[in-house]
Structure 1
Amino acid sequence: MAALLCGAAWAGEWPAKPVKVLVPYAAGGPVDTVTRMLMEITAKSLGQAVVVENKPGANTTVSTAALARSAPDGYTFGVVPAAYTTNQVLAKNLPYKATDLAAVSHMVNIPLFLFASPATPANSVAEFVAWARGKQPSYASTGPGSTGHLLGAMFSLSADLKAVHVGYTGSAKAMPDLMAGLVDYFFDPASGGMPHVKAGKLKVLAVSLPRRCDCAPDVPTMAESGFPDIVQSSWIGLMAPAGTPREVVERMSAEVAKAVRSPELHARLQGMGFGPVGSTPAQFQALIESDISVYGAISRKAHITLEN
């Protein structure tokens, strides 16, 4: 009872100073932008400043390792993308263990769309598969081990395509080659391809969500297109160092959820192609474990390593 009372009192005093949030990408990118939008609102509810610190590098592991080494005092949190799960599946000798971190909140979902080169004659997934089976198609990703890499391989296996993976250093590098017909397909967020679709320079065939995306209601799901096993998306979540007081983790989770669902932010996120979530710590942990299981199975079946 004394411990419970002490924990409740400690949580009631938190935060007594500014809170730091580590971001694994450079400033100005979509993950950084969404984090700053969320934390601006969260800071108002907490009554303390939330300082965003960018720590890019090594496919997000620089930032995550720094978070794992941080004191579990409730004043350092870290953003992790879906690459956090693919790193655990594919990377060797990570500078941290999964047990070094505690889930806080699945903040937003990032639907991945199947974009196709305008050089292909296909206007649907079925037409694309029929066309691609007579060739050796290629698919782009934002790098070996990325969510797009694994989803592209999953589609290739499901459709029985002899596809070749072409890894890029980012969506901005891959899109010009896709539009030029140098690669044939690419799973990427709406922000990367939809402007080109609207300009008539790219085709969008499907989205890998359980239901159609509010940001593109005319685009069918992969399940509607005959591939019910491809229901994966990218995401952005918040974590804390293991050992951070449970009361603080739950308070931060609740504040983030409130910010995500606020009228001022909800519509802005949807307009950017993000799906607002704001989960509990347990729900986010379940998502992490599910993705590790799914991506582990894909990587083994497709023989994917960080070298291919």
Structure 2
Amino acid sequence: TTGTIAEFIIYVNLLTWPVAALGWTSSLVQRAEASQARINEFLDEKTNIVSRRDEAKEITGDIVFDHVTFTYPDTGITALHDVSFRLRPGHTLAIIGNTGSGKSTVAALLCRLYDVTSGDIRIDGTDVRDYALTSLREQIGYVPQDVFLFSDSIRNNINFGLDQPDEARMQQAAKDADVYDNIIRFPEGFDTRVGERGITLSGGQKQRVSMARALVKEPKILILDDSLSAVDTKTENVILGALQRVMKGRTSLLISHRVSSVKLADEILVLDDGRIVQHGTHAALMAEAGGLYRALYERQLQAEEA
């Protein structure tokens, strides 16, 4: 009858969604299981970097590298050979050299991304291996060459890791990094979303946002690891002018392959193949006619003129 057919159609319609939902839910569960397996691999990973004494204290930034040699465990490449230097509290030390000379390795060891193969690194007289990792890294502002930005607002990217973000501090950090004017030109200002890995920003803007992220922490030690490589000379000079105020009284490590970036430092180390080959001020190193530092300067000057 017509009523029976209508009743059958109604029952079929009632069953269609639950059956479809069952297949959809099964697919979701399978994808979630695969994702959880990948997450568990990360969570179950055991770190080789452990603290010996878990000391947590405020640091002033007296850094000593004492006959440090380091070999990368995965490749067996020795990046540093018997490197020794001291960076006094409130001073700025620059490290310069050709690509592959070991500059970034110094920063990685100071942040304890790796432990030394031999020798010691001390901060305020305490071996870095005795500090609690959280305490040590909270007091270091590190700006890497390879910047990572989250697919989030500029505000959240700058304030990342802060328990209590402060609007005034954030804006001042952006000004010190010479990115404030760029940000406020965006329609949504600091609430502008930057996309995965900061895809909506230029290379120079990404580096300056990363720099603002480090500065907003007001760290005891500031490390700039070739963080001006993606900006032009004019922007570099503006940023360096602002950073002079920021670095005054703060222990700072400035790593670069550009002589123009390091010449204002209190001291300069020149690395070549993992060894310190020169050490002094810009003026003193320029006076060494056959030195690597002067050769780098002349080579870069010729490249700019060309």
Shorter-chain TM-score range: under 0.3
Higher RCO structure, 1 or 2 (CA under 8 Å, sep 6+): 1
TM-score in terms of structure 1 length = 0.27
Greater radius of gyration (CA) = 2
TM-score in terms of structure 2 length = 0.27
